[in-house]
Amino acid sequence: MKKKKKREKRSRQEEPVRIQPEIPPAPQPEDDAPLRDAVSLVGGKWKLRILWALRSGEPARYGEIRQRIPGITDMMLSQSLRELTADGLIERRQYQEIPPRVEYAAAGCAAGLYPALELFCDWVKKQKKGG
């Protein structure tokens, strides 16, 4: 009988009230659609860096781009250039010469991206300095 009484006493004890912070409502799928689209266009480790390397507007050859982006492999550079070209963010111009010459340049629509990238870079610099 003593064991039953102890169990009853335990069940009678009140549970502590836990206050949970207010959780904002989950975003609707259409709320972040532009962000998802942007990430699909320029996401990844290299695409923004390639666009940044081409920001002068002057055409650059493959080797020049590779020199401007330390650490990028040939495979990632060629794959990213293909994807950016397919998405219309950079233009590829191939000259019918021997030896063949190919140049890449930022497309006109990519120009609107550079002010946002500059703001983003400024924000990162401030964060590194401590706010």
State the average pLDDT for the chain. Answer: 85
pLDDT of residue 20: 66
Higher pLDDT, 111 or 78: 78
User: Residue 37: inside a domain, yes or no?
Assistant: no
What are the CA-CA distances from residue 80 to residues 54, 111, 117, 128, 130 (Å)? 13, 18, 18, 28, 33
pLDDT band at residue 13 using 50, 70 and 90 as cut-offs: low
Whether 30 and 76 have beta carbons less than 8 Å apart is answered as: no
Q: How large is the average pLDDT for residues 49-58?
A: 93
Q: What is the CATH number of the domain that holds 107?
A: 1.10.10.10
pLDDT digits (tens, 9 = 90+) for 120-131: 889 999 988 876
pLDDT of residue 35: 79
User: Residue 123: inside a domain, yes or no?
Assistant: yes
User: Residue 39: inside a domain, yes or no?
Assistant: no
* Distance of alpha carbon 10 from alpha carbon 66, whole angstroms: 70
pLDDT of residue 18: 67
Boundaries of domain holding 97 = 46-131
Residue 7 has pLDDT above 80, yes or no: no
* Distance of alpha carbon 78 from alpha carbon 82, whole angstroms: 6
How many domains does the chain divide into? 1
Residue 1 has pLDDT above 60, yes or no: no
Whether 104 and 91 have beta carbons less than 8 Å apart is answered as: yes
User: Residue 97: inside a domain, yes or no?
Assistant: yes
How much of the chain, in percent, has pLDDT values that exceed 90? 50
